[in-house]
Each structure stands twice: as C-alpha cells, then as structure tokens.
Amino acid sequence: MRRPFSPACEPRPVPPVRGQRPTIVIAANTSWNLVNFRGNIIVALIGHGFHVVAIAPKDSFTERLQRMGVEFHELDFRSSAISPRRDVLLFLRYLSLLRTIAPVAFLGFTIKPNIYGSLAARILNIPAITNVSGLGTAFIKQGLITRIVTHLYRQAFRRSATVFFQNSEDRAQFVAARIVDVERTRLLPGSGVDLGRFKPVPATEQTGGTPSFIFLMIARLLWDKGVQEYVDAARIMKRQFPDARFQILGLADVDNRTAVPRATLDRWIAEGLVEHLGAADDVRPHIAAAHCVVLPSYREGLPRSLLEASAMARPIVATDVPGVRDVVDDKVTGLLCAARSADSLAAAMLTLIEMTAEARKAMGLAGRAKVERDFDISVVTERYFEAIERAL
C-alpha cells in the first residue's frame, strides 16, 4: 500500500538519483507548464519513491524543475510549427530518449508530447498516460489540420493505458471520432486547485462616485482565448463606465499560430483600453485586486484560471463553451455569455458591475463552495496514482 500523498506544490530540494527507484517520464511543451500545472503531481511522485525525468524545451522554469529533484532532458521544438520533417525528427528523439531512460510509465501533457511521446512509448511497450487538457486551435477551426491531428491522435492513443480528459464534451468528441476507446478514458477536474493557497479574499469596494471597477482576464494572449472580444467589450463598457479598468495577465509573444501580435497589444494599451500586467509566477495578488475575472475563450479543457478565481471568491464572466461551463454555474457563481460576441460579453460585464457588492460577494462565495466540492487538487493527484497503479 502506498503512502498518503501531499498535494502541496512547494518542493523540497531532492537529488535526482536514478537506479534503485522506478523512473517515470513526464513531458510537455514547456518547463513552465510542468512547474505551474503539474507541480503537485511531480512532488507526489517523488514523495512516493519515483525518480522523475522531465522532457521539455528549456526555459526560465527549467531550473525550478531541477530544484524539485527532477532529472531534465531538453527537447527543443515549437508547438505551433507544422513541419512533417521536424515532427518525424521529434518522434525519433522521443524514441531515443525513452529507450535510453527506460521508464516504467510515460506521462504526456500538451499535444506534441501526447502524440509523439505516446507513439514512441507504444513502440517500446511503455505504458502511456496522457492528459488532453483542451482541444486547441486544431479542433476550433475545422479543416485539413483537424483531420491530420485526428489521425495522429488515433494512432497515439490506440494502446494508451489511460487518456485523461478535463471535461466530458472533449471526451465524447474523441470517443465519437474513434480516436480512443471509452474504457481507456477517465475524467479529471482540470488541473485542480490548491485550496490552501487560494483562499477567499474580500474585494475592495469603493464608496461614493463611480467605483474604479477592475476586470481581470488571465490567459495567454491568443485570439482563441477571446482577447479581441475582451478589448472590444472594454471599448463598449468605457462609454458608460470610463473609470473601469480592464487588465490582462498572461504571456505575450506566445509560440502559437493564434498569438496576438505585440504591435496590436501595444496599440490597445496606447488607446487606454487594457492594461497588460505581463506574466506572473503568483496570480493571487492580481486576483485579490480584481472585482471580477473574465475569460471569453472559444473553447477550454477546464480553465485553471477560473478555478483559482473562484477559490478566491471572485465572480466570473465567461463564455458558454465546453470546459468553461463545467466551472461556472450561470447566475450562481458567475455569468455566461456567447462566444465570439463582444456585445454579449459587454452585456454580462455590465450586469455584474451594476450588481450590489453584496450580490457579487454571494456569487463569489458560491464559486468557492463549488471548487471545494468538485475541484480540490488532491483529487487530480489521486487519480493519477490510480492510473499508474493500473498501468503497472
């Protein structure tokens, strides 16, 4: 029987020693992703006696991975690049690394590690446990790329030990397309939320005059996240509430085909429509300073930003799309609006800003109760251990 795990993500330095301990490989498109979204799993695996090896491109978070006790292997690739030659070379590199490392299991996150890492693991008879955290641009915009990605997923997931999905609609789509057999699938409550770190914080409400109300969007600057709609809604809102503030917290210049150009972001800032807060290791101070968190995304797996905002008792305004509606109960924990519609988004934001402070507080507390009930991070870690035990 394995020891009880701790979902805490604050690592203690552990020397990466391979040999006596069974090895598990984790792979993603950035070290940042592994630290920020998979840190609890890494800590729990090390705590249970596994040697953890990460395969990912090197970035500013790689050193933090290594301080956690993870052995790191750099594998440089661009998530947005579409090149058959490069993808074949990427697959061969995964094959070489997995053959050398010889792990007892492969854990994949994000599309290229999920596909090419799983294919390599399949050839080497290494159990693959993958996480489809969202369907992304390839499935939002149907076309040739969708057909190619569907075929690759079908080959990669044919013998996967477990394929995790973060919402039932994504799972149903993959099963209906015969990408994966339903018995190989499991649902996760997203990446979960650490309820000990993300605690309710009262919103600062101004009295007298028009409040300087702060809307906060937490997302990478991608068109598919609804950034254009957010900016257009801000323009609409400022006609009635000129002092309202519209912030964006997230990476710019992202390696993605749908990235917002820096020049466009600079123009919005110069117009006074939005404030770009950059990226942050700790989002809690920014959520605490905001009155409402907004996500106008076209589709999500299960957005962690909204889980963390709800855990801190902030009401949500977001689009009524797969993944998002798993988090937001309309008119209870937040307000849902139509995707790709700045008018619908602005109407929902207007409704929220015109609520009483007491009504917004009640909505935020309802969100906190929901994440306590359904999205505790310990559930995610527990389900990973169950999948590993089944695979081994």
Q: What is the pLDDT of residue 206?
A: 55
The pair of structure tokens assigned to 266 is 């600079």
The pair of structure tokens assigned to 155 is 């080959």
Same topology between domain 23-192+377-391 and domain 214-374: yes
At 324, phi and psi to the nearest 5? -70, -45
> Is 51 within 8 Å of 16 (Cβ atoms)?
yes
> Is 222 within 8 Å of 191 (Cβ atoms)?
no
pLDDT band at 98 (very low <50, low <70, confident <90, very high): very high
Q: What totals of helices (H) and strands (E) does the chain contain, helices first?
A: 16, 13
> Is 24 within 8 Å of 43 (Cβ atoms)?
no
Domain edges within the chain: 23-192+377-391, 214-374
Q: Domain spanning 23-192+377-391: which superfamily?
A: Glycogen Phosphorylase B; (3.40.50.2000)
The pair of structure tokens assigned to 67 is 């301080």
Q: Is the pLDDT of residue 274 over 90?
A: yes
Q: Residues 229-243: what's their mean pLDDT?
A: 96
How many residues in total does the chain contain?
A: 392
Q: Residues 271-291: what's their mean pLDDT?
A: 94
Residue 132: C-alpha distances to residues 172, 191, 244, 304 (Å): 12, 11, 36, 14
Q: What is the pLDDT of residue 8?
A: 39
User: Which one, of 265, 328, 260, 266, lies nearest residue 295 by Cα?
Assistant: 328
What CATH number was assigned to the domain covering residues 214-374? 3.40.50.2000
The pLDDT tens digits of the residues spanning 148-171 come to 788 888 888 988 999 999 888 889
Half-sphere CA count of 275, side-chain side, radius 13 A: 11
DSSP, residue by residue, 62-130? HHHHHHTT-EEEE----TT---HHHHHHHHHHHHHHHHHH--SEEEEESHHIIIIIHHHHHHTT--EEE
H/E stretch holding 310: helix 304-311
The pLDDT tens digits of the residues spanning 40-93 come to 999 999 999 999 999 999 998 999 999 999 999 999 876 555 667 888 999 999
> Is 377 within 8 Å of 195 (Cβ atoms)?
yes
